Amino acid sequence: MTEVLALVLFALVFVLLLAGYPVAFTLGGISIIFGLFTFGQDFFYLLPLRIYGTMSNYVLLAVPLFIFMGMMLEKSGIAESLLETMALLFGKFKGGLAIAVVVVGAMLAASTGIVGATVITMGLISLPTMLKRGYSTELATGTIATSGTLGQIIPPSVVLVLLGSVLSVSVGDLFLAAVIPGTALVVLYLLYILAVGFFKPESAPSMPIEEIEKFRGQGMGLRVFKAFLLPFLLILAVLGSIFAGIASPTEAAAVGAAGATLLTIIQGKFNMQILKSVMRETTHLTSMVFIILIGATAFSLVFRGLGGDLYLVSLIENANLSPTAFLLIVMLAVFVAGFFIDFIEIIFIIVPVVTPLFLALGIDLIWVGILIALNLQTSFLTPPFGFSLFYLKGVAPPEVTTGHLYRGIIPFVIIQVIFLILVILFPELVTWLPEKMAN
């Protein structure tokens, strides 16, 4: 009987979320009602202890620090300077401006780890320029939306921090495991853009030779050095300290937050108004994440208290599903859920439910974490509800239609799906680097 209640709880929460009810209050409210009904008043002794245990998790301190770092970098003007320099550096190539967008998107992802901030920043800076240069609207929007989502997989990613906490695996190992997949995706995007430039040069023209020559005649080396140096130093400070074992991800996040503030001061963009704005936005996003986390903690407590996890394990065992078949079912569920609800809800609702099943089937949780991150990144791009597309549409010029966004993203979604299948078939793409660094 209790197992059936657990499944009813899960289904009810999912239906209410799809109906548009607030995530945090739906998760927490429904879970408390079920908990009180099932366990009586004792439930109110258990829940505060579980919430306190979650909130005292040292790893989760990295979340507000990485959000602060991303918001501060958005205000620093570094992205704009980097994009202008990269565009002129690659300008002589067909598709050079799109190549610059992907490279800068990857660097911003490695600096901020926040999808919304990256997509909006890149959309405001690069989309009007690409359209003015004669790029096809589809290629321009597809490149920007896709590059912005690299923050889901390239460390330091907030998604990976949350996944590490929920899966109870090392965030540092997840960061290491994400390096090869993140780099491989960037290379695949660049190869596609080069192919478009070769076969359809009218869709991805090179920049006028006069502008390139003018750029090269104005101290190109110094300008490139300045544009690359600041974000590179920040990436080195954050990721280098983690990979070298000098700092934990939480400590590195604090270094990143301080470094982003210092870079904003160096750029001459720092003032009290910007500091207040960054702190307000950081507090808003952090509060949202942690309120959802509290609701998810209540949900997890009730679901497991009702024996829902054990019931699902027995269902899988009785169905004689292979580990691969179960993994594919979970990946499909995450992909579809990503159309409708944000990655935070998916991580806090679906992942805790399936984690015991992965453990029972002997599946590597680091590999699973990267697969889920890649899957969420793909769902962020997929029409009709891709969040990255909504972010870009919000800052796009009026002549850019939703149809342009949908058509432009299709080739990149195909690349994502193919790469996701490759990572499933060849787990070494994920596991090789953490194993190498551990030896």
> Which tens digit of pLDDT belongs to each residue from 399-412?
888 888 888 899 99
Going by pLDDT thresholds of 50, 70 and 90, the confidence category of residue 123 is confident
4 in a structural domain: no
Better-predicted residue by pLDDT, 282 or 313: 282
Cα–Cα distance measured from residue 140 to residue 204, given in angstroms and rounded to the nearest whole number: 9
Better-predicted residue by pLDDT, 289 or 259: 259
Q: Which domain holds residue 115?
A: 57-270+306-438
What's the pLDDT at 329?
87
> Which tens digit of pLDDT belongs to each residue from 35-66?
888 777 777 777 787 777 767 777 778 778 87
383 in a structural domain: yes
Decide if pLDDT at 113 tops 60.
no
Comparing 52-66, 103-117, 133-147, 236-250, which segment has the lowest mean pLDDT? 103-117
What's the pLDDT at 153?
86
What's the pLDDT at 211?
65
Mean pLDDT value across the chain: 80
What's the pLDDT at 368?
93
Going by pLDDT thresholds of 50, 70 and 90, the confidence category of residue 166 is confident
87 in a structural domain: yes
Quick check: helix, strand or coil at residue 397?
coil
CB atoms closer than 10 angstroms to residue 143:
32
CB atoms closer than 10 angstroms to residue 170:
16
Mean pLDDT value across residues 366-375: 92
Comparing 54-58, 179-183, 383-387, which segment has the lowest mean pLDDT? 383-387
242 in a structural domain: yes
CB atoms closer than 10 angstroms to residue 232:
15
What's the pLDDT at 380?
76
**Number of domains making up the chain:** 1
Question: What tokens does 244 get?
Answer: 């070298």
211 in a structural domain: yes
> pTM of the full predicted structure?
0.77
| Cα→Cα distances 84→127, 274, 303, Å | 12, 23, 51
166 in a structural domain: yes
Nearest-CA neighbor of 63 among 290, 227, 219? 290
Question: Residues near 332 by Cβ (< 8 Å), separated by ≥ 6?
Answer: none
15 in a structural domain: no
Decide if pLDDT at 164 tops 60.
yes
Cα–Cα distance measured from residue 148 to residue 111, given in angstroms and rounded to the nearest whole number: 12
| Cα→Cα distances 132→5, 97, 210, 221, Å | 58, 11, 16, 27
Decide if pLDDT at 183 tops 80.
yes
23 in a structural domain: no
Decide if pLDDT at 360 tops 70.
yes
Mean pLDDT value across residues 356-370: 89
Share of the chain above pLDDT 70, in %: 88
Please list the helix, strand and coil fractions of the chain in percent, rounded to the nearest 5, in that order. Answer: 85, 0, 15
Q: Which of 121-125, 203-207, 369-373 has the highest mean pLDDT?
A: 369-373
Going by pLDDT thresholds of 50, 70 and 90, the confidence category of residue 185 is very high
How wide is the angle at C-alpha 255 spanned by C-alphas 58 and 111, nearest 5°?
100
Decide if pLDDT at 192 tops 90.
yes
Going by pLDDT thresholds of 50, 70 and 90, the confidence category of residue 19 is confident
Going by pLDDT thresholds of 50, 70 and 90, the confidence category of residue 433 is confident
Cα–Cα distance measured from residue 38 to residue 295, given in angstroms and rounded to the nearest whole number: 17
> Which tens digit of pLDDT belongs to each residue from 219-250?
666 667 767 777 778 878 887 887 777 888 78
- Pair 340, 13: CB distance under 8 Å: no
Cα–Cα distance measured from residue 46 to residue 31, given in angstroms and rounded to the nearest whole number: 13
Decide if pLDDT at 316 tops 80.
no
Share of the chain above pLDDT 90, in %: 11
Question: What tokens does 275 get?
Answer: 């500091």
Better-predicted residue by pLDDT, 91 or 15: 15
What's the pLDDT at 347?
83
Decide if pLDDT at 191 tops 90.
yes
